[in-house]
Amino acid sequence: MKNHTEQRQYFRLRYNIKEVMPTLRVQSREFNISEISEKGIRVIVRDSSLFRIDDSLTGEVLLNSLETNIPVTGKVLRKIGNEVIFLLSDGLSFKQMIAEQRYMRKNHPKVFPKNSQLVSEEE
């Protein structure tokens, strides 16, 4: 039997508190981001019929740690309940992910507690 442990190419930040979730802005709509990586975003939606699998995405991400918006492009990968997962062709940089992680750990330690797995700059 093969080992089926899931290997991820990019580190993810998971937000379990709605008040601190970053925002994905697509045209005039805004969605809370529950999970983000350099090449993917999971957003919470009220109506998942707004998106279809393989729909294109052009928008911007508003992180807690940065004062500028990050342009993103990609497509809808899948929908699970009230969440839509986007695969990004242009997304966040590793540096932006580290900055967000540090900001959240410093300002919202309940989201990323000290014993949680953190990305180091050496990775």
Q: Is residue 106 part of a domain?
A: no
For 61-68, what is the mean pLDDT? 89
Kindly report which listed range (14-18, 60-64, 84-88) carries the lowest average pLDDT score.
Answer: 14-18
Evaluate if residue 60 carries a pLDDT over 90: yes
79 assigned to some structural domain: yes
The pLDDT of 66-93, averaged and rounded, is 94
> CA torsion 16→21→25→29, rounded to 10°?
70
- Asked whether residue 123 is domain-assigned, the answer is no
Mean pLDDT of 89-95: 93
Q: pLDDT value at position 120?
A: 44
Amino acid type, 55 = D
- 2 domain-assigned: no
- pLDDT over 50 at 63, yes or no: yes
> How many distinct structural domains can be found in the chain?
1
Tell me what the pLDDT averaged over the chain comes to. 85
Please state the pTM of the whole predicted model.
0.83
For the cut 80, the answer to whether the pLDDT of residue 21 exceeds it is: yes
In a domain, 7, yes or no: no
CA distances in angstroms from 110 to 30, 59, 101, 103, 107, listed in the order given: 24, 29, 12, 12, 9
Asked whether residue 123 carries a pLDDT value surpassing 50, the answer given is: no
The length of the chain in residues reads 123
Q: Helices in 4-108 by DSSP H: which ranges? A: 94-107
User: Does residue 42 sit within a domain?
Assistant: yes
Q: Which domain holds residue 68?
A: 13-95
